[in-house]
Structure 1
């Protein structure tokens, strides 16, 4: 009996050491990724360390992962799951209610309309038109609707979906968000958008995928447009909390077997409903927004935490990349990319129409 107990304790220690080594490995990988993302050629494109992390992680995971000790996998999984939730919660320190109030009802109205319409349209297009499974469709819609890769991570955690589905969604965000960063300023300077400074800020912030991409695009117009666009974008980020809560309620009412679109003539395997999945990290996100709004933390402390949080998110994305299998990505890749393109057209055309309408309504 004692020998069995001793063996169990030794195994537990080995597992703990393996998990710690895996976390340290991902941290070192993310540190290298952060340095790589700081190169002017990459930073100038508005590509964040998160994006570089998932690409580099996927390259490693599909070529060299056989050389990684198997017991490190627990640490990689921890980084891709639990650390991810903590990092998403602290993302709220980048948003304050005072900043959101600066753009008032026009900014909030555009953010709500864009987020809701893109989520609904993206999920419908993905599942019904492109025949994607539910999780891939939702992740693609979330990345386009809210805040790019960070939204994909938050939704991936709530849906508990497979890493390759997140990779496909992030790929769409990278492609079309980067395209927006160059195309939007060109359209503005060509006189095709017919927007004033406020309108440019509302349109850019309301429809471009990533925060860095919004800043990159709007900075080619004016500092005032950049300020407005950034605040509108952070208003969209703020909507992550209510959307995740609604998603949790929806998942609780959905059958367990409904994670993928059933084939013709095939019924759902199970009609058992899930418990209500309240994402605690979304509540943590909201708490961090309130803390930031109350200014209880010194600015230097907030900046330090935000830097650590970006690094933690980079670790999570790198770990997701390591767990991603290219063979799985290929299955949904073209259809998911087509869905992302249709959403991109919607964000440009529908988003511009919404911006014109809101500007006329509030001026």
Structure 2
């Protein structure tokens, strides 16, 4: 246990610096990056400019694996099952259609058009279809990807998620009436297609409180779908790797048990048995733990390996972004026409 302390301290230190930078006024008014994104950037910078001593490795790996799983479990306190009901049938259908179609399209584009490795394809697809960097982090251990793959996937969803944050409000302001969107439909579209929670909040409330609240609920409902996606992906990968169609036993399946913890925490949060002020602090701590894990991922990322991947992940993420944008509009309009 003592061995993990030095590396853990390093990851925590980078996380603290990341929160400080993200709260700077100039950062808020320009790139508006979350501490998660800043942490991975700082981690990559430190890890590639300085050869990390072997004494720090155990703590960095602990942060990347154990701390990450704990953080994902407590992500459940950001959601309630009531969120699903609040967004309504329309929002739930749009979320489900967009998540499923985007993930499948993302894997297909990455594999077939650009020839990316399966692990990278799954990471880009999950980050684009669910919740950005958090989804990439949660998917990485399930598909057993290398850290430079995860870092590149985070970079792609950050680029196009940030783009969405600025583009979506402009589209609504200039073309919203032509699309037949009101503030609620805009909120559903934003929540079902923009990458990160913070980006959804920014894009939603840039229009109105109604749009912002709807977008946030639609997004959180989409985040909740991370659990069934990871479980399905685990079973699929295990079955795919079975030799000559042999049966797959439970021991062959890399079940992400932390997902069950995530669902359990959603259940606890839904019952409102924990005072709201304590839940607030749990969310704050959880955000910090996620940032620590992201810092560790950056420290473990070899930038030379990222260079070797080239621009193909960016091209793939661009096509997924275009898919989210246009198919999202069509899905919202069709769903509203049928169920509205």
TM-score interval, smaller chain:
over 0.9
Corresponding residue to 1:190 among 149, 170, 174: 174
Matched, 1:277 2:250: no
The residue aligned with 1:299 is 276
Residue 263 of structure 1 is matched in structure 2 by none
Query: TM-score scaled to structure 2, two decimals?
Result: 0.95
Q: What residue in structure 1 maps to residue 82 of structure 2?
A: 98
Secondary structure of the residue aligned to 2:328 is: helix
Report whether the alignment pairs 1:34 with 2:19.
yes
Residue 315 of structure 1 is matched in structure 2 by 292
**1:255–1:272: 8 Å Cα contact kept in structure 2?**
no
Partner of 1:242: 228
Please report how far the alpha carbon of residue 32 of structure 1 lies from its aligned counterpart in structure 2 after TM superposition: 1.1
Equivalent in the alignment of 1:172? 156
- Equivalenced residues, count: 335
Write the deviation string for residues 99-156 of structure 1: whole angstroms up to 9, x where unpaired. 2211111111011001100110100111111100000001000000000000000001
Structure-1 separation of matches of 2:257 and 2:329: 35
Q: Which runs of 5+ in 1 are unaligned?
A: 1-15, 258-267
Question: Which residue of structure 2 aligns with residue 72 of structure 1?
Answer: 56
Distance (Å, rounded) in 1 between the aligned partners of 2:328 and 2:32: 21
1:30-79 CA distance string (max 9 Å, x none): 11111111112323444211111111100111102x2x431110100110
Is the contact made by 1:111 and 1:236 (CA closer than 8 Å) also made in structure 2? Answer: yes
Q: Which residue of 1 aligns with 2:116?
A: 132
Larger CA Rg, structure 1 vs 2: 1
> What's the TM-score, normalizing by structure 1?
0.89
CA distance in 2, matches of 1:254, 1:316: 29
- Structure 2 SS opposite 1:324: coil
Does residue 146 of structure 1 match 2:130?
yes
CA contact (8 A) 1:152 1:166 kept: yes
Given that residues 18 and 74 in structure 1 are in contact (C-alpha distance below 8 angstroms), is that contact kept between their aligned partners in structure 2? Answer: yes
User: Distance between the aligned counterparts of 1:298 and 1:117, measured in 2?
Assistant: 38
The CA deviation at 1:297 is: 0.6
Identify the residue that residue 216 of structure 1 maps to in structure 2. Answer: 202
Matching residue of 2:39: 53
State whether residues 46 and 212 of structure 1, in contact with CA within 8 Å, keep that contact through their aligned partners in structure 2: no
SS of equivalent to 1:233: helix
RMSD over aligned CA atoms reads 1.8
Corresponding residue for residue 326 of structure 2:
349
The farther-off stretch of 27-36 and 289-298 is 27-36
More moved, 227-236 vs 40-49: 40-49
| Aligned counterpart, 2:69 | 85
Residue 244 (structure 1) shift: 0.7
Question: 2:157 and 2:323 mapped to 1: Cα distance?
Answer: 14
SS at match of 1:277: coil
Partner-residue secondary structure (3-state), 2:49: coil
Which secondary structure does the structure 2 equivalent of 1:161 belong to? Answer: coil
Residue 296 to residue 188, structure 1, CA distance change in 2 (3 Å): same
Listed as ranges, the gaps of 5+ residues in structure 2 are none
Distance (whole Å) between structure 2 residues aligned to residue 281 and residue 345 of structure 1? 32
Post-superposition offset of 1:325: 0.8
Residue 261 of structure 1 is matched in structure 2 by none
Give SS of 1:190's match: helix
Paired with 1:174 and 1:256, the residues of 2 have a C-alpha distance of 35
